[in-house]
Structure 1
Amino acid sequence: MNSELLTIEQVVARTGLSAHTLRYYERIGLLDSVSRATSGHRRYDAKDLDWIAFLTRLRKTGMPIRHMQKFAELRRQGDATITERRILLEAHQQAVQTHIAELQHNLDAITVKIQVYSQMKGDHDNTH
């Protein structure tokens, strides 16, 4: 995909995001202004796709849009903001790890309940 430029429809197919979401991300500053063909249609390159993939990961792991916007703004400012970006990602990483621990705790409780019901069913089947 070296210098291949993709239409918004092609990016939708590759990323699973809707065209509306891609335009929204551009409008709110998550995506830099995407290049345009002479027709005015958006054209995305490999760097755009990489960035969209990272934004998708942030979103899927629960990062609020306002934090994503802060991260995108810091990224635009260049290497002088690497420490700030790392700190922001470390805070998000901690939030994700906490959420995973909560999910695991709840999953463990569900597993125990299933075991109880399985045992009760087995006991019930053995008495009849």
Structure 2
Amino acid sequence: MYSIKEVESMYGLPSSTLRYYEKEGILPKIHRDNGGRRKYTEEELEWLQLVIALRDTGMSMEEIKRYVDLVKQGDKTLEVRRSILLTHKESVEKKMDQTLKHLEKINRKMAIYDVMVRGKNPKDFLI
């Protein structure tokens, strides 16, 4: 079991965000110790990791909430959940492809500057 401070440190999320996720139902109701302090289980951390992955790859909080709500409805929503994740996966892959293309352009420009800094003419090289 992990305290909110430990989870905050592990994932770089402020405790206010963790409390918000719980309040909005994005995370399940977090267990509490006898003093009323939140204690996160491994299962709850798995949920948090999925939420972070979805959020960091551009899924809106509304869509994450929708996905979580479907999970709570059980196996009858498996196909819909799979479809949501597949659509998101395809979107992430498209963004990654575009980012890699942009990175190639940046690297090419840096290579030209590297040649020029060394006093050479970039036209003398196949860059």
1:14 aligns to 2:14 (yes or no): no
The 5 Å alignment of 1:1-128 reads: 5-121=1-117, 122-123=119-120
Equivalent residue pairs, number: 120
Normalization by structure 2: what TM-score?
0.86
Deviations along 1:22-71, whole A, 9 cap, x unmatched?
00111122011112223222121111011111111111111111111011
Normalization by structure 1: what TM-score?
0.85
The residue identity in structure 2 corresponding to 1:43 is K
Question: Relative contact order, CA 8 A, sep 6+: which one is greater?
Answer: 1
Structure 1 unmatched runs, 5+: none
The residue identity in structure 1 corresponding to 2:90 is Q
How many angstroms does 1:74 deviate by?
0.7
